[in-house]
Amino acid sequence: MTAPLLSVRDLRTHFMTRAGVAKAVDGVSFDLAAGEILGLVGESGSGKSVTGFSLLGLVDPPGRIVGGSIRFQGRELVGMPPAALRALRGRHLAMVFQDPQATLNPVLTIGAQMALAVQAHERASDRAALDRAAAVLARVGIPEAARRLSAYPHEFSGGMRQRVAIATALLHGPALIVADEPTTALDVSIQAQILAKMKALAAESGTALIWISHDLATVSSLADRVLVMYAGRIVESGPVGAVLRAPLHPYTRGLLDSLPAMATPGEKLRQIPGAAPSLLALPAGCAFAPRCPRADAACAAPPPEVAQGSRRAACHHPLEAAA
């Protein structure tokens, strides 16, 4: 088997806040093959976005990668000099962010922002850069792309802005795009369009995709494999169909049960009781134990890894274990 495109081992990203050390990402490991689509799922504060930022070296202070390894295309990204990492960003490793309202610069035209991205990695004339931008905008489905280059972000709708962000990420044909909840801020109908477009574009260009979302439904329609994160750790991973059909970890079960689509009409939605633990003071054992219906005394110890084929879960009492 060839080496994976991306290999993350024991990644730990901590935030040195005044109140103490917040362990936003605490020992995350996973592999990603070229062209694969990976869903990264979790509640707010589970560390999924910080994992994404860590991959690109975009963790803002007081946050810092304190340990672990990120190997991308055979190169180690943790501890790489900033200039080398910058040369990689946007070219081989791109990112699409959550809120298209805030992620485009309000005072620069779409064309200028995309041309800057082209010229960050290539010596290109303004004309050539704008032509490239127009071509990619057309690919993501923006009509009259060449004319829209001189428009400002406020003249675009939310969905259009996100298409611009996706087009910008695609400019250099990266090997991996990290998409951080790119459809969360959009209407449901627009969400579906963007999802379909993204899937088609990734397949067409062989780009691998890490799709970060709190929404299991969007992930299930898009990803090949899914990672479920809780309190800075991966609690379950596996092929998306199998995980959603029969989750091993009680937390994944809880997430699925709280989806409105899974509920019987007229009945109350089933919630996961309690709230996510503070990242400043994580329990030594399973972080989910205080909210878990299956928890007992054993859960005070760090959970063992349960393997079932290509599936993994970190739990003392997995559901349907060895079934």
Partner 1 sequence: MRILRLALRRLAASLPTLLLILMGMFLLLQLAPGDTVDALMAQMGGGDAALAEELRRFYGLDVGIAAQLWRYLTRLVTLDLGFSAIYGKPVATVILERLPPTILLMVSALSFAFFFGLVLGVLAARRVNRWPDTLISTLGLVFYATPSFWFGLMAIVLFSVYLQWLPAGGFYDITMGYTGIAAMLDIARHLVLPTLTLGLIFLAIYLRIMRASMLEVLSLDFVRTARAKGLTETRVVARHVLRNAMLPMVTLIGLQAGTMLGGSVVVESVFALPGLGRLAYESVVQRDLNTLLGIVFVSALLVIAINFVVDILYARLDPRISAES
Which residues here bind partner 1, judged by CB under 8 A? 56, 58, 60, 86-91, 94-95, 97, 99, 102-109, 116-117, 120-121, 152, 154, 165, 168
Q: Are 148 and 141 in contact (CB under 8 A)?
A: no
Query: Nearer to partner 1 by C-beta: 111 or 250?
Result: 111
Query: Nearer to partner 1 by C-beta: 94 or 235?
Result: 94
Looking only at the bridges linking them, the beta strands covering 6-17 and 20-32 are antiparallel
To the nearest whole angstrom, how small is the minimum distance from the Cβ of residue 134 to partner 1? 17
Query: Nearer to partner 1 by C-beta: 102 or 321?
Result: 102
To the nearest whole angstrom, how small is the minimum distance from the Cβ of residue 169 to partner 1? 8
To the nearest whole angstrom, how small is the minimum distance from the Cβ of residue 103 to partner 1? 4
Q: Taking Cα atoms as reference points, which of 67, 3, 53 lies closest to residue 31?
A: 3
To the nearest whole angstrom, how small is the minimum distance from the Cβ of residue 158 to partner 1? 14
Query: Nearer to partner 1 by C-beta: 116 or 146?
Result: 116
How remote is the C-alpha of 26 from its chain's centroid?
16
Cα separation, 15 vs 280, in Å, equals 9
- CB burial of residue 153 (10 Å; 0-12, 13-18, 19+): buried
Kindly state the tokens that stand for 129.
């850069």
To the nearest whole angstrom, how small is the minimum distance from the Cβ of residue 215 to partner 1? 20
Cα separation, 203 vs 209, in Å, equals 10
Query: Nearer to partner 1 by C-beta: 107 or 323?
Result: 107
To the nearest whole angstrom, how small is the minimum distance from the Cβ of residue 83 to partner 1? 8
Cα separation, 105 vs 293, in Å, equals 47
DSSP secondary structure, 190-244, as one string: HHHHHHHHHHHHHHHHT-EEEEEES-HHHHHHH-SEEEEEETTEEEEEEEHHHHH
Residues sharing a CB contact under 8 Å with residue 131, sequence separation 6 or more, in sequence order:
none
Query: Nearer to partner 1 by C-beta: 158 or 239?
Result: 158
Rg of the Cα atoms in the chain? 20
To the nearest whole angstrom, how small is the minimum distance from the Cβ of residue 20 to partner 1? 20
Burial 98-129 (b: 16+ CB within 10 A, else e): bbbeebbeeeebbbbbbbebbeebeeeeeeeb
To the nearest whole angstrom, how small is the minimum distance from the Cβ of residue 247 to partner 1? 32
Query: Nearer to partner 1 by C-beta: 103 or 252?
Result: 103
Query: Nearer to partner 1 by C-beta: 50 or 289?
Result: 50
